[in-house]
Amino acid sequence: MDHPIICFGQQPCGFFPKRFLFAKILTARRLQKKIGGEVVFFFHDSDHDPRETITILRERNSNKEAALNFQFENRIQKKFSPLYAKRVLPEWQEKTARQLPNYVGRSLVAHFKETKCSNIADFCLEMYMRMGLLEGVRVERSSAPEFRARAAAVSDYFVDQRYEGEVVRARFRDGKLLLHKGGDRFLQILGGEFGPEQISPTRDTRFRWMQSVIQCTHYVAGASEQRYINKADAPGVKFIERDEISDFDKAYTEL
């Protein structure tokens, strides 16, 4: 193990990151100090779930919780577009910036105002960088065409396709492109030929797909993530449980 590669993965998880992501970063950095090598953040911005970016903050005076999230331009984009294709609305940013002094300090408010990104994934990533969380960390994005082109083929996957003026993430199953409408209801959409640059993995195939490119030696994950990863897909990888942290699902708001 001449050059350890210590990896952790996460979807964009709020414009201020959830505390469990901060715990993953701390765990990876601590391991790096011990064994050396490189830290890699697998930024899974191909996910489409709008709940991933809910940001839970506490009001500074009352300590009351508030759940803030991006606004979405339309229903198709909200439900089905990958996070890298969900657009940031300027009016949402302006409105939220006026609210933030009730929850966080002036430096974070300034970072929020100064972040100018067209999509949600870019916005979250730039905020994490501005907070100093990713200094010295290599970021690999699941949406990047060059990453997708290098990744191994998997049997279960999503395909990014155009639908009603938006890029959507459709499940490919039995030769059909399907949008999940909830429960056991799916909408089949039309689509042309597609290649690796349009493909992203499902939860069950994500680790093998990611690992085919990153080739990590150590992987930092929470308990729930460790349960669904098929470790047979990663012989030789040492799985590290992330540090425990209080209020793990709340936003991390320190610099």
- 31: in domain: yes
- 252: in domain: no
The full length of the chain comes to 255
The range of the structural domain enclosing residue 158 comes to 5-241
The reported pLDDT for the residue numbered 86 is 98
Model confidence at 138, pLDDT cuts 50, 70, 90, reads: very high
The reported pLDDT for the residue numbered 2 is 80
- 114: in domain: yes
Burial of 62 (0-12, 13-18, 19+ CB in 10 A): exposed
CB within 8 A of 213, min separation 6: which ones? 140, 147, 150, 151
Number of domains in the chain: 1
pTM of whole model > 0.75?
Answer: yes
- Rounded to an integer, the average pLDDT of 200-211 is 96
Residue 1 has pLDDT above 80, yes or no: no
The reported pLDDT for the residue numbered 206 is 95
Task: Kindly report each contact of residues 235-238 with a partner whose C-beta sits within 8 Å and lies 24 or more positions away, as own/partner.
Answer: 237/211
Instruction: Tell me the C-alpha distance between 26 and 220, whole Å.
Output: 10
- 67: in domain: yes
DSSP element (H, E) containing 75: helix 75-80
- 253: in domain: no
Instruction: Tell me the C-alpha distance between 26 and 133, whole Å.
Output: 9
Model confidence at 76, pLDDT cuts 50, 70, 90, reads: very high
- 115: in domain: yes
202: amino acid identity, one letter? T
The reported pLDDT for the residue numbered 232 is 87
- Summarised one tens digit per residue, pLDDT across range 89-137 is 999 999 999 999 999 999 999 999 999 999 999 999 999 999 999 999 9
- 108: in domain: yes
Residue 152 has pLDDT above 90, yes or no: yes
The reported pLDDT for the residue numbered 255 is 82
- Summarised one tens digit per residue, pLDDT across range 215-235 is 999 999 998 898 899 888 888
- 254: in domain: no
